[in-house]
Amino acid sequence: MAKRIARALAACCLFPTLPLSAAELPDYQRNSDWFTDGENRLAAKAEDERGNKTAKNVILFVGDGMGISTLTAARILEGQLRGESGEENNLSFEEFPYSALVKTYNTNQQTPDSAGTMTAIMTGVKTRAGVINIDGDALRADCASSKGRELNTFLELMESRGRSTGVVSTARITHATPAATYARTPERNWEHRAEGDCKDIATQLVEMEAGDGVDVILGGGRRNFIPTGADGERADGRDLTAEWLARYEGEQQAQYLETGSALSAVDIAGTDKLLGLFTSSHMRYEADRKASGADEPGIAEMTDAAIDLLQKNDDGYFLMVESGRIDHAHHAGNAYNALHDTIAFAEAVKTAVEKVDLEETLILVTADHSHVLTIAGYPTRGNPILGKMVTNDGTGAPQAEVAAAGDGLPYTTLSYANGPGHADLGSETDADERYTTAVNSGRKDLSAVDTKAPGFYQEALVPLGSESHAGEDISLHAIGAGSELVQGTLEQNAIFHVMVGATGIPVTAE
């Protein structure tokens, strides 16, 4: 592995300077201090060689907002849903042989956002919050300042080398995290329109120049691709779904679909390109999807279909799978949906592990940032993680009485350091409903409230209209070819170099 890392690093320096294209990284990207530091750190780790594998395929799973406390609470809930105490359980990817901690700050923020963090992962260069694949010298929402500062991504490198590529998300496919695999913009919110001579994110996806474009695109956000009307947001009148189909007409078999049943019925053997936009905006939370019976695929189903199509390419592939709604549930202050979406995410990872050959596939599982979810108090072991505090008196015997805080009120194991605060919507599973209610922070009397219900929203200390991200490290889990590079504490931009090092793919034109 050390030799392959060395060859990959040498490639970035020995190839002559060529006209910039989507097939290479510009000099200012490769010469960035963030980029070279990431290279050097990974080269040093590779000297402790533990394997001799080269990854033909890379699957990057990103749990948006899936911090350490989210992992802990989700693993407990998953175990408890099986009738166990929960604490001893592990999510599927927590069994991976290699792991690391990852520092997530942006160049201008101690606590980051998804645009800057995913840019670091996909390009090897840290940048500002709010900008996607533009280096940190540009200003947010300033089109002119972004020119000449565009960064190319690992997906584009793979696509330009003849590998297949895919993007799957439960959020809008033009949202910050999935967009950072293929787009460049100084403003993450320019999903269907942009200022100046910049292109909006949806247009960039459909017109992507690297290779022949992304092969599998599955997620939400249909409104950003179709004209203004009952479902669309595009004031320019363009129907990008039709343009995407026209791009491949007569050359490849392309399919566009809008339902889960259509995805299940796809003839993978007869399909070269697949675009699925299943909802107008974000896809449903997993619990809401199941409860509603909506004709909408789950994240494991989308992952399964994407791998089936991508692995038809004998040269290999790159797939990014995002569970975007973990983040949204946390912002609403609803741990129920955040944890259930994390469990569904772990199932998608399990699906991938069971489908691929790990001798030639690297699977990485990480988050882009954390959230201010806390697990506190001294609950007895096995106490429902979504429940009220039941204390342990030190003897090990469970206590029957709900514990009271110093103010005489019961409290829950899970709470948020900031956010909208408590709401009781009962069996409601859609955490977005929280945004229609007023901020209700501080201590509340939960005596008669079922805190395990889908519509319970945890108390919050500091009143904010939306719960915020957190700044602590997140985790990175790895299995398969090249996974031994994942060790210790890494800067977030080093994940790019893990993928480059594992595949040995050159970062300049061949």
Q: Which residues are known to be catalytic? A: 114
**Angstrom distance (rounded) from CA 209 to CA 186:** 19
The token pair at 395 is: 């003897």
Residue 368 in marked binding region: yes
For 387-413, letters b (16+ CB in 10 Å) and e give bbbbbeeeeeeeeeebbeeeeeebbbb
**Angstrom distance (rounded) from CA 126 to CA 118:** 9
Residue 331 in marked binding region: yes
The token pair at 420 is: 């909208």
Residue 177 in marked binding region: yes
Encoded amino acid at 464, one letter? L
Measure the CA dihedral 470/475/476/477, to 10°.
-140
Three-state helix/strand/coil letters over 121-152: HHHCCCCCCCCECECCCCCCCCHHHHCCCECC
How many C-beta neighbours within 10 Å does residue 28 have?
16
**Angstrom distance (rounded) from CA 483 to CA 500:** 12
Q: At what angle do helices 299-310 and 335-355 cross, to 10 degrees?
A: 30
Residue 422 in marked binding region: no
Residue 327 in marked binding region: yes
**Angstrom distance (rounded) from CA 413 to CA 351:** 31
Q: Which residues are annotated as a binding site?
A: 64, 175, 177, 322, 327, 331, 368-369, 469
Q: Which residues are annotated as a binding site for Mg(2+)?
A: 64, 175, 177, 322
